[in-house]
């Protein structure tokens, strides 16, 4: 797409507290760990995310905005996961 001046990039989000986390995954992990869902979510974040906090929708939006405002970046895969993939 570059010859047509179209950039193509991806954003790879980490653990974002979404309705899927709240309704499905947190209860599953809570049951598995013997914790309430909120505690299970917090424990997973502390164990797996080096920055110690979940990613937010705003974090992901900021990454997308950055790429949209960067006309000379193409073929980029931008990971926004608080260091999760570095473990």
Whether the predicted pLDDT of 10 surpasses 90: yes
Q: What is the pLDDT of residue 32?
A: 93
Neighbouring residues of 80: CB distance < 8 A, sequence distance ≥ 6: 11, 12, 13, 14, 55, 59, 60, 63
Q: Residue 49: its pLDDT value, please?
A: 96
**Cα separation values, 55 from 25, 38, 41, Å:** 16, 16, 12
pLDDT at position 42 is 93
Going from the N-terminus, what domains does the chain have, and what CATH number goes with each?
A: 2-86 (3.40.50.720)
Q: Write out the two tokens for 76.
A: 């980029």
- 25-82 tens-digit pLDDT: 889 999 999 999 999 999 999 999 999 999 999 999 999 999 999 999 999 999 999 9
């Amino acid at each position: 797409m570059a010859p047509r001046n179209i950039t193509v990039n991806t954003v790879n989000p980490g653990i974002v507290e979404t309705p899927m986390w709240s309704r499905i995954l947190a209860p599953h992990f809570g049951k598995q760990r013997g914790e309430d869902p909120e505690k299970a979510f917090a424990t997973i974040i502390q164990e797996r995310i080096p920055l110690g906090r979940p990613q937010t929708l705003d974090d992901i939006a900021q990454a997308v905005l950055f790429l949209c405002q960067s006309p000379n970046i193409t073929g980029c895969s931008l990971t926004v996961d608080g260091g999760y993939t570095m473990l």
